[in-house]
Amino acid sequence: MVAEPQVIEETRAARTDPLLSVQDLHVWFELRRFGFGRAGYVRAVDGVSFDLYHGEAVAVVGESGCGKSSLMKTILGINIPTKGEIVYDGKKMSEYSRSNLRWYRSQVGYVQQDPYGALPPFMTIQKILEEPLIINGVKSKEERLERINKALEEVKMTPVDEFLPKFPHMLSGGQQQRVVIARAMINNPQLLVADEPVSMLDASVRVEILKLLRGLQERHHLAVIYITHDLSTVRYFSEYIFVMYAGEIIEKARVDDLLNNPSHPYTLALLAATSDPDPKNVDEFQEVPPGEPPSLVKPPAGCRFHPRCSHMIDGLCNVERPKEFKVGEGHRVSCWLFKDVQ
Amino acid sequence: MTDKTLLRVENLKLYFRASKGVVQAVDNVDLTLSTNEAVVIIGESGCGKSSMAKALLRLLPRNVDTYSGRVFLNGTDVMALDDEEYRKEIRWVKMSMVPQAAMNSLNPVLKVGDQVAEPMMVHHGVTKEAALEQAKAMFQRVGVPVDFVNRYAFELSGGMRQRVAIAMALVTLPDLVILDEPTSALDVLTQANIMNLLKRIKKEISTSFILITHDIATSSELADRVAVMYAGQIVEVSDSYRFFSAPLHPYSAKLMASVPKLRAKSEPDYITGQPPSLIKPPTGCRFAARCHKRFEKCSEEPPVIAQDGRLVKCWLYT
């Protein structure tokens, strides 16, 4: 069947089917009161939708508790969505059988935040990297060893033979993170989910790891979801930024558009609070919106940022949840300030 | 020395015994600090910056091998004091500290108000009621609602806990507060809030700060002067204005180049190689193996060279 010629709204939509499509995803966690009945729900992810295409790197930026890790865990198939659907390669995740799920997990690599905590201390690097291969049915020992060698070379841990018998504690933080990346890559995944992969590392190593990830992404045409709270590293890594606040994505844009033309007041606040090394910083106070992110058990009505926002429109922002408005090519923002922009 | 000098550290050494040998965590460090000045100590993890904070406050573990040097605070050599005198007269009276991961260092079973009041009771011998009043005043100053004195640590957010830890360090109005990575575990907006708070406190009361961090971008919010530490030694001390625009030591330059910047177009670069082991540090310049400007001289220990009021430990500037 030939598809109807559509009006191509965005350059992204011109590409073929998305690799991963998150549709109106809700992840709520039930709160129990001493085992009797429900006390409510923590609405960790509340209505998130986006598409991710082959070879595309997307950064999800937000503060702790904004639901970015819950979103990630749901994409990894660890949390079960309360509502909504995750579609991977045209197949709905809710309809997966056990073997489908195993296949899915081999397609998705996961780079954890804390490399030391993510590597079992009693296993050698060789065993750590061999396990996912055994689970995914690589029977021949020679083939496993070959793939381990290849993975370690890709993360520039050479000479490989020197590292294979080592235990995680014998490696530096940067090397541990390389092993974590090698493990995530060993099944040749299509999608890589990296949860703050550099936040535990030193400044000098941080850039090295980000460049390594970027190199892998380009070489293997990987789709990457990069979760971070540090806006300054995003520019070197991804094409798109999604800004999350209190369980919702409030702004989606290309990296340059977001940095040059930030629209949502929360994005503006995040950018203003990110400092660059500059001796003039000493003389000025940084602008920070008052208050703290809301509780996700009873989030504020309307726009969730309205209690902290200086542009709040009474009777609108505190009543009705803002729709997604288009402020540019591929740049969307959920804020009532842009309701007249078309 | 002018009377504005608050702290003068000379040849401070702190070595630890480990199973593989002696770790030279802090090796012959010199540093001066004026009243109401903020010095930032930056360096990679394992360079000895936290050990230096411990050495200054004499919060030492059991495996100390060497602990020597001279530390003058307001002209008196505090290294000459015995432990009991030091505890009574210096620690938390003249010098206090906000420890690393301060938000997790609060006692979970004590009310935060009592914890902030405790240093006043111990060191100034005031009654609990008076100390609690002080704690409340300090809560107000650091931006924690006063009724939070009756709460426990788990009832506060990360930013609030960090503020409580800062209140605890400030309650005795010490001359010097050492902050060990005060913002590294916090979110961007909370981080900005805490830096604003420290700036305001620095203006309001004439406290000096030593800020230990590896986050160079955030450190520029508070720094009057910057000291760069590498492998247990201070390799550069400079006023922040000239440091952030043109660092002298090759290591400082590399470190600055590795910082991802939001508003600049330049690509960050990383430093190849790893810092040397502190058990048997290389002779000569400790950075030589990773330095792009090394030459024959670098195999000898570089001298500390003064240049327009800046100090740099590098052969390039002789």
Q: What distance in Å separates residue A285's CA from the closest CA in chain B? A: 6
Q: What distance in Å separates residue A77's CA from the closest CA in chain B? A: 27
φ, ψ (nearest 5 deg) of residue A182: -60, -40
Q: Are residues B223 and B81 in the same domain?
A: yes
Q: Is residue B251 part of a domain?
A: yes
Q: Are residues B116 and B182 in the same domain?
A: no
Give the pLDDT confidence score for residue A6 in this predicted structure: 39
Distance separating alpha carbons of residues B112 and B166, to the nearest angstrom: 12
Q: Are residues B197 and B73 in the same domain?
A: yes
**Tens digit of each residue's pLDDT (9 = 90 or more) over B41-63:** 998 888 888 899 999 999 998 99
Lookup result for tokens 């509502």: A83
Q: What distance in Å separates residue A161's CA from the closest CA in chain B? A: 19
- Name residues whose C-beta falls within 8 Å of residue B294's C-beta, 6 or more positions apart in sequence: B285, B288
Q: Are residues B85 and B180 in the same domain?
A: yes
Q: How many CB atoms lie within 10 A of CB B4?
A: 10
Scan residues 100-159 of B and list those with Cβ closer than 8 Å to A. Answer: 157-159
Tell me, yes or no, if the pTM score tops 0.90.
no
Quick one: average pLDDT of B21-45?
Answer: 92
**Tens digit of each residue's pLDDT (9 = 90 or more) over B85-126:** 999 999 999 999 998 877 788 999 999 999 999 999 999 999
Instruction: Note whether A229 contacts B271, CB cutoff 8 Å.
Output: no
pLDDT at A13 over 50: no
Scan residues 62-91 of B and list those with Cβ closer than 8 Å to A. Answer: none
CB nearest B262 (choices: A210, A274, A281): A274
Q: Which residues of A touch B (CB under 8 A)?
A: 63-64, 172-173, 202-208, 210-211, 229-233, 235-236, 259, 269-279, 281-282, 285-286, 288-289, 292
Q: Is residue B186 part of a domain?
A: yes
pLDDT at A14 over 60: no
**Tens digit of each residue's pLDDT (9 = 90 or more) over A38-85:** 778 899 999 999 999 999 999 999 888 888 889 999 999 889 999 999
Tell me the two tokens of residue B293: 């400007």
The reply to whether CATH 3.40.50.300 applies to domain A9-55+66-89+230-275+290-342 is yes
Give the pLDDT confidence score for residue B260 in this predicted structure: 85
pLDDT at B139 over 90: yes
Q: Is residue B15 part of a domain?
A: yes
Mutate to test the interface with A, among B187, B212, B292 (most CBs of A within 10 A): B187
Give the pLDDT confidence score for residue A9 in this predicted structure: 43
Q: Is residue B211 part of a domain?
A: yes
Name the percent of chain A lying above pLDDT 90.
53
**Tens digit of each residue's pLDDT (9 = 90 or more) over A16-29:** 789 999 999 999 99
**Tens digit of each residue's pLDDT (9 = 90 or more) over A176-210:** 999 999 999 999 999 999 998 888 888 778 888 99
Q: Determine the residue type at B109.
A: V
Domain count across chain B: 2
Confidence of residue B248 (pLDDT cuts 50, 70, 90): very high
Q: Are residues B87 and B119 in the same domain?
A: no
Tell me the two tokens of residue A342: 């078309």
Lookup result for tokens 């991710």: A52
Q: Is residue B203 part of a domain?
A: yes
**Tens digit of each residue's pLDDT (9 = 90 or more) over A265-289:** 999 999 998 888 888 888 888 888 8
Q: Are residues B74 and B198 in the same domain?
A: yes
DSSP β-bridge partners for residue A245 = A248
Q: Are residues B10 and B137 in the same domain?
A: no
Instruction: Note whether A279 contacts B245, CB cutoff 8 Å.
Output: yes
CB nearest A236 (choices: B190, B268, B271): B268
pLDDT at A12 over 50: no
Average pLDDT, chain B: 91
Q: Is residue B305 part of a domain?
A: no
CB nearest B44 (choices: A64, A202, A277): A202
Give the pLDDT confidence score for residue A8 in this predicted structure: 38
Q: Are residues B188 and B272 in the same domain?
A: yes
- What is the domain extent for residue B167? 103-173
Give the pLDDT confidence score for residue A230 in this predicted structure: 85
Q: Are strands A57-61 and A223-228 parallel, antiparallel or unpaired?
A: parallel
DSSP β-bridge partners for residue A46 = A26
Quick one: average pLDDT of A114-129?
Answer: 93
**Tens digit of each residue's pLDDT (9 = 90 or more) over B194-214:** 999 999 999 988 899 999 998
- Is A248:A303 a contact under the CB 8 Å cutoff? no
CB nearest A269 (choices: B189, B196, B260): B189
Give the pLDDT confidence score for residue B285 in this predicted structure: 93
* B196 chain-A contacts, CB cut-off 8 A: 285-286, 288
Average pLDDT, chain A: 88
User: Of the candidates B173, B189, B218, which is a domain's last residue?
Assistant: B173
Give the pLDDT confidence score for residue A165 in this predicted structure: 94
User: Of the candidates B173, B206, B233, which is a domain's last residue?
Assistant: B173
Q: Are residues B80 and B157 in the same domain?
A: no
* CATH number of the domain encompassing residue B13: 3.40.50.300
CA B195 to chain centre: 15
- Is A180:A118 a contact under the CB 8 Å cutoff? yes
Q: Are strands B76-77 and B95-98 parallel, antiparallel or unpaired?
A: unpaired
**Tens digit of each residue's pLDDT (9 = 90 or more) over B280-296:** 899 999 999 999 999 99
Q: Is residue B314 part of a domain?
A: no
Distance separating alpha carbons of residues B196 and A313, to the nearest angstrom: 28
Q: What distance in Å separates residue B185's CA from the closest CA in chain A? A: 9
Q: Are residues B123 and B208 in the same domain?
A: no
Q: Is residue B310 part of a domain?
A: no
Distance separating alpha carbons of residues A221 and B33, to the nearest angstrom: 53
Quick one: average pLDDT of B229-245?
Answer: 94
Q: Are residues B144 and B36 in the same domain?
A: no
| Number of A–B residue contacts, CB under 8 Å | 119
Confidence of residue A35 (pLDDT cuts 50, 70, 90): low
- Name residues whose C-beta falls within 8 Å of residue A245's C-beta, 6 or more positions apart in sequence: A62, A63, A66, A266, A293, A304, A305
Question: What is the CA angle A76-A82-A83, rounded to 5?
Answer: 100
Q: Are residues B255 and B245 in the same domain?
A: yes
Tell me the two tokens of residue A291: 């208050």
Quick one: average pLDDT of B170-197?
Answer: 89
Confidence of residue A212 (pLDDT cuts 50, 70, 90): very high
**Tens digit of each residue's pLDDT (9 = 90 or more) over B69-89:** 999 999 899 999 999 999 999
CB of B196 within 8 Å of any CB in chain A?
Answer: yes
More confident residue, A237 or A186: A186
Instruction: Note whether A277 contacts B263, CB cutoff 8 Å.
Output: no
- Name residues whose C-beta falls within 8 Å of residue B111's C-beta, 6 or more positions apart in sequence: B149, B150, B151, B152
Q: Find the farthest-apart pair of alpha carbons in chain A and give their distance in angstroms, rounded.
A: 68
ipTM: 0.83
More confident residue, B193 or A4: B193
User: Of the candidates B173, B200, B218, which is a domain's last residue?
Assistant: B173
Mutate to test the interface with B, among A270, A282, A309 (most CBs of B within 10 A): A282
- Is A299:A43 a contact under the CB 8 Å cutoff? yes
- Is A321:A91 a contact under the CB 8 Å cutoff? no
